[in-house]
Structure 1
Amino acid sequence: MSSQDTVVIPLSVITVTHNHGAYIGRCLTALVPEVTALGGEILVIDNCSEDASAAIARQFPTVQLHLNPERRGFSANNNYGMALAQGRYLLLLNPDTEVLPGALGALIQFMEEHPAVGLCGAQLLFPNGTIQPSPRRFPTLGAAIARRSPLRRLLRQSALNRRHLMQDLDHSQPQPVDWLLGACLFIRQEILHSVGPLDEGVFSLR
């Protein structure tokens, strides 16, 4: 983990790729000018891709590309990236996302205005512009039935599923949430010194 003495830039974006050649070019094309304007850095951790992911990342001279010697899970890859990062804020961003103009600045502004917040997430949108629910409530038995059982297709529009996805709240306004999808996590770096990095015992591949 970077020490406080090495935090010299406002933002570090960490993106983990594994055979994401179809997406990473568009991701970086949108991301590079936004991060450059903020004086930040982009770290791409390639997780043993067998496609052109690494070659595409190399086409962006300002991107720092790190090649894994062996395949690791989501937490281990992002912990590695965060340990290298020098930003005051850290953004864990999926490679199949495209950052909209001004979004990163808005996240920084939100965190500056809310110093008690250690982590937040951006509003995610589907390609057609509709909201992709990214906040979640803690799991319940009802949520498990609605999301993970053979009945999930029948319960997609049920109150159980909607409650789990927090669709009963106004997603146009900031809200306290139980947890967020890992697609876009915006972290105040000093919080890592208090709570530690991601739990590598929870293994999911990226």
Structure 2
Amino acid sequence: AYLSRGKYILFLNNDTQVFANWLDELVNVFDSIPKVGMAGPKFLFPNGNLQEAGSIIKKDGKSKWIGTNDNPDKPQYNIIREVDYCSGACLLIKKNFLMI
């Protein structure tokens, strides 16, 4: 990360399948909300159902995926939202957010 020359750093699992314009959509998050330091996409299961649209940490300390097995086209999964954490399978981070 220290030697990178770009504005962003992308972490992407080698088995992640991406769709057209996926990276542009993640970068658009930073353009529309300048305070954002990192962004992640929604993930789909191979059958097309939603795997998760971000995650929350519940009061008991357990985590929960948002929208698991639901229809990924529902409006509530197609918005920019604040979440407790994003999956590391695909994570775009502003380089200056890492303070390196």
Would the TM-score normalized by the shorter structure come out above 0.5? yes
After the TM superposition, list the runs of 4 or more consecutive aligned residues in structure 1 that deviate by more than 6 angstroms: none
SS of the aligned residue for 2:91 comes to strand
**Contact persistence 1:134–1:181 (CA under 8 A):** no
Cα–Cα, structure 1 residues 103 and 141, in superposed 2: closer, same or farther, change >3 Å? Answer: same
Query: Is 1:191 aligned with 2:86?
Result: no
Q: Which digits, 9 at most, give the CA deviation of each residue in 1:145-203, with x for residues without a partner? A: xxxxxxxxxxxxxxxxxxx2233x9222121101122111110111111xx6xxxxxxx
TM-score under structure 1 length normalisation: 0.41
Q: What percentage of aligned pairs have identical amino acids?
A: 32
Query: What count of residue pairs does the alignment treat as equivalent?
Result: 94
Cα–Cα, structure 1 residues 107 and 142, in superposed 2: closer, same or farther, change >3 Å? Answer: closer
Letter aligned with residue 138 of structure 1: I
Q: Which has the higher contact order (CA 8 A, sep 6+)?
A: 2
Give the RMSD, CA atoms, in angstroms: 2.5
Query: Is 1:108 aligned with 2:14?
Result: no
Query: Is 1:83 aligned with 2:2?
Result: yes
TM-score under structure 2 length normalisation: 0.77
Query: Is 1:127 aligned with 2:15?
Result: no
**Contact persistence 2:53–2:77 (CA under 8 A):** no
Letter aligned with residue 172 of structure 1: N
Q: Which of residues 74, 79, 84 in structure 2 aligns to 1:178? A: 84
Counterparts of residues 88-167 of structure 1 (less than 5 Å): 88-141=7-60, 143=62, 164-167=64-67
SS of the aligned residue for 2:7 comes to strand
Structure that is richer in helix per residue: 1
